[in-house]
């Protein structure tokens, strides 16, 4: 099989229980949600995301949403759902 990978520098903004931090990583820009969530979970647990406590439960981001922005800097936002407003 021929896998085409697009490895690049990705800025991931992670939010967890009101804490927020940025994590810069080389990864496939086409990664699926589960892969991105797994990378984030490991990074937070390893203390590599300033601003977020490493004490993260398993599957912490299971119900989270990933926004992808492919501008000058590829950016993923790992966030809780935001259904409220009015």
Partner 1 sequence: MKILFCGGGALGSHALFVARDFQHDLSVVDFDRVETKNLASQWFVKQMLGKNKATALKMQLLNFYDVKIQDYAVKLTSLNVDTLLAGVDLVVDCFDNAESRRLVQDYVRTKQKACVHAGLAANGEFGVVRWDQDFVIDEETAPGQATCEGRGFLPIILRVGSSLAASIQFFLDDRRQVNWNVSPRNAESF
Q: Please, which residue, 3 or 84, has the CB nearer to partner 1?
A: 84
Residue choice 6, 9, 19, 35 for contact with partner 1 (CB under 8 A): 19
Distance (Å, rounded) from C-alpha 55 to C-alpha 46?
A: 10
79 makes contact with partner 1 (CB under 8 A): yes
Q: Please, which residue, 26 or 63, has the CB nearer to partner 1?
A: 63
Instruction: Print the binding letters for residues 44-73 with partner 1: x by CB under 8 A, - otherwise.
Output: -------x-----------x-x-x-x-x--
DSSP 10-49: EEEEEEETTEEEEEEEEEETT--HHHHHHHHHHHHHTT-S
Which string of b and e fits 14-31 if b means at least 16 CB within 10 Å?
bbbeeeebebeeebeeeb
Binding site for partner 1 (CB under 8 A): 13, 15, 17-20, 51, 63, 65, 67, 69, 71, 75, 77, 79-86
């Amino acid at each position: 099989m021929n896998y085409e990978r697009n490895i690049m520098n990705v800025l991931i903004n992670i939010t967890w229980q009101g804490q927020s931090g940025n994590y810069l990583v080389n990864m496939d820009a086409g990664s699926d949600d589960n892969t991105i969530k797994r990378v984030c979970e490991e990074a937070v647990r390893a203390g590599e995301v300033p601003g977020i406590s490493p004490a993260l439960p398993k599957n912490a981001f299971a119900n989270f949403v990933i926004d992808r922005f492919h501008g000058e800097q590829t950016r993923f936002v790992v966030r809780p759902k935001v259904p409220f407003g009015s």
